[in-house]
Amino acid sequence: MKYPILLFDLDNTILDTKANAEKALHKLSKQVDFPFNDQQIAYWHELNDGLWEKLERGQLGREDLLNSRFRLYFDHFGKNIDGAKMNNSYLQLFKLENILMPNAKSVLDTLSQSHRIFAVSNGTKEKQYSQLKRADLLSDFEDLYLSEDLGYQKPDPNFFKVVFDKLKTNQDQMLVIGDSLTADIAGANAANLDSVWFNPQEVVNHTTTKATYEINDLQQLLNL
């Protein structure tokens, strides 16, 4: 691979965030007397994904997202709860889950021997560090660049500008790998970076946002 520096998104690229969220929600159900059946979990993903997309567009702040998502969720089911308190309980469970996307560990372990590996993520700092550590992946990353620390979130090109400034290298030395067209690929394009769209479900891209490469299995990175 011609790129010596690899910038990996974490959620749903390295970490199987949806599976980890479902495990955490099932554990949370005992605390809130709510079953979190398949239909209810599907609504959680729909609502939560929509809120994170608003954050990407600059329409919602991080704290507002975290403090409001459970209130909005349970409002839908006619249940009155303390949203901020519930979110904190959820995050304490969520950060302990560490299911990975297929082949994530073997690919990172291999690439880290010959490349500089960094994380670029909008995810919550405490969760990201905890899950990577529990998955025995933290040592594969030279550093984690998180929007919570940088003050910008993908796809804002300022997010990647901060990364450039920290790494003091040219853009053509870097490759962004992520599952989100709206955050990872759009952000890479705005920052004039090459990118890999990780598309395990082989979703048809009907948008104008195009990646340099597309893969459906992380192992394909080894052959780029």
Q: Provide CB contacts within 8 A for 116, sequence distance 6+.
A: 4, 5, 6, 142
Res 42: pLDDT = 97
Separation of alpha carbons 51 and 45, rounded Å: 10
Q: What is the mean predicted confidence (pLDDT) over 115-130?
A: 97
Q: Is 33 helix (H, G, I), strand (E, B) or coil?
A: coil
User: Quick one: angle between helices 62-76 and 83-94, nearest 10?
Assistant: 100
Res 148: pLDDT = 94
Domains within the chain, CATH numbers bracketed: 5-16+100-223 (3.40.50.1000), 17-94 (1.10.150.240)
Q: Which DSSP state fits 194?
A: E
- Per-residue pLDDT tens digits for 199-220: 999 999 999 999 999 999 999 9
Res 184: pLDDT = 98
- Per-residue pLDDT tens digits for 55-76: 998 899 999 999 999 999 999 9
Q: What is the mean predicted confidence (pLDDT) over 94-110?
A: 98
Q: What average pLDDT does the structure give for the chain?
A: 96
Res 65: pLDDT = 96
Res 149: pLDDT = 96
Question: Which amino acid, one-letter code, is at 6?
Answer: L
Q: Which two tokens stand for residue 32?
A: 């809130």
Res 94: pLDDT = 98
Q: What are the φ/ψ torsions at residue 10 (nearest 5 degrees)?
A: -105, -55
Distances (CA, A) of 166 to 43, 142, 144, 170, 200: 39, 12, 12, 11, 31
Separation of alpha carbons 172 and 192, rounded Å: 9
Separation of alpha carbons 191 and 188, rounded Å: 5
Q: What is the mean predicted confidence (pLDDT) over 73-86?
A: 96
Res 1: pLDDT = 81
Separation of alpha carbons 129 and 102, rounded Å: 20
- Per-residue pLDDT tens digits for 153-170: 999 999 999 999 999 998
- Per-residue pLDDT tens digits for 1-57: 889 999 999 999 999 999 999 999 999 999 999 999 999 999 999 999 999 999 998
Res 126: pLDDT = 96
